[in-house]
Amino acid sequence: MAIDKLRAATIGAKKNFKSETVEFNGVKFEIRQPSVGARAELTKRCTGSDGKINMFDFLVWSVIELTYEPNTNNKVFTAEDYDILAEQPTGGFVDAFSEVAASLVNVDMEDKKKTSSPIPKTN
């Protein structure tokens, strides 16, 4: 009986994914929290042959994978946009969106400055 309660409280509970609305140039975008599996895929995509995560790739791919038209399932960016996003000026929308995405992915942005790998927050 106890196992049933534990399972109901965890994997049986309603999934509550967070999102944040970001406004850029008067237009609203929705940045969504990924699932654990989607975060793993994002991390895997950005891991080099040396086993280290390329933080630049991680931030650009997080913008691609987590930015949506608000209240829809329409992603704003696609994989084909990677090079265009990578060429945007620093301090612009890519940085703004990736900062929000990193918080929703559970990556500590301060620690990213110290290492080449994102550090999952432990709360």
| Mean pLDDT (10-residue bins), the chain, 123 residues | 91 94 97 95 94 94 98 97 97 96 78 48 44
DSSP designation for 105: H
Residue 105 corresponds to which tokens in the numbers above?
């992915």
Number of domains in the chain: 1
CA atoms of 31 and 22, how far apart (whole Å): 7
CA atoms of 63 and 98, how far apart (whole Å): 6
Distance of CA 32 to the CA centre of its chain: 7
pLDDT at 108: 61
| Residue 118 counted as domain residue | no
Range of the domain at 54: 17-112
Residue 30 corresponds to which tokens in the numbers above?
């929705």
Distance of CA 36 to the CA centre of its chain: 11
| Residue 72 counted as domain residue | yes
pLDDT at 89: 96
| Residue 82 counted as domain residue | yes
Residue 74 corresponds to which tokens in the numbers above?
């329409």
Indicate whether this model's pTM tops 0.85. no
Q: Tell me the β-bridge partners of 71.
A: none
pLDDT at 29: 98
- If DSSP codes are grouped into helix, strand and coil, which group holds residue 60? helix
| Residue 11 counted as domain residue | no
| Residue 119 counted as domain residue | no
| Residue 29 counted as domain residue | yes
Return the CATH number at 43: 3.30.2220.20
